[in-house]
Amino acid sequence: MNSIPPGTELRISHMGAGELQVVLDELRMTTTQWQGLSAHLTGLAPPSTGQPFQATTAAVNGVNAAINAAVAALVARTQATAAGVAEAAAGYGKQEAAGASAMAAVTQVTVV
């Protein structure tokens, strides 16, 4: 089973007014964990409920159908969130690279 190790957390710290520091490797790791958890959910199947003519079987089948619908919605939401986080991580990485290039391009000025 894929699970998040105890003590794992995503660190996003505020640096100052309007500034945010994101740890890209942790963001990517979180995305991978969410994708793994959602893949694990899709593999779950309810146990056999017995003969289909029993009244309790019909009730259990109804509950299982509701659970399956909720799981499908959770999986879709988790996968969409993971995709969004992965896209954001890529955007943060590109922004960091562009910022580093811009800083490197600045002419060094010596004040006398």
What would the pLDDT profile of 12-37 be if each residue is shown by its tens digit? 554 566 666 778 888 888 888 888 88
Whether this model's pTM surpasses 0.95:
no
pLDDT in tens, 55-89: 777 788 888 889 889 988 999 999 999 999 889 88
What integer is the mean pLDDT of 80-109? Answer: 86
Strands (E), 1-112: 12-16, 19-22
In this prediction, residue 107 carries a pLDDT of 73
Euclidean distance between CA atoms 102 and 84, whole angstroms: 27
Is pLDDT at 44 greater than 80 in this prediction?
no
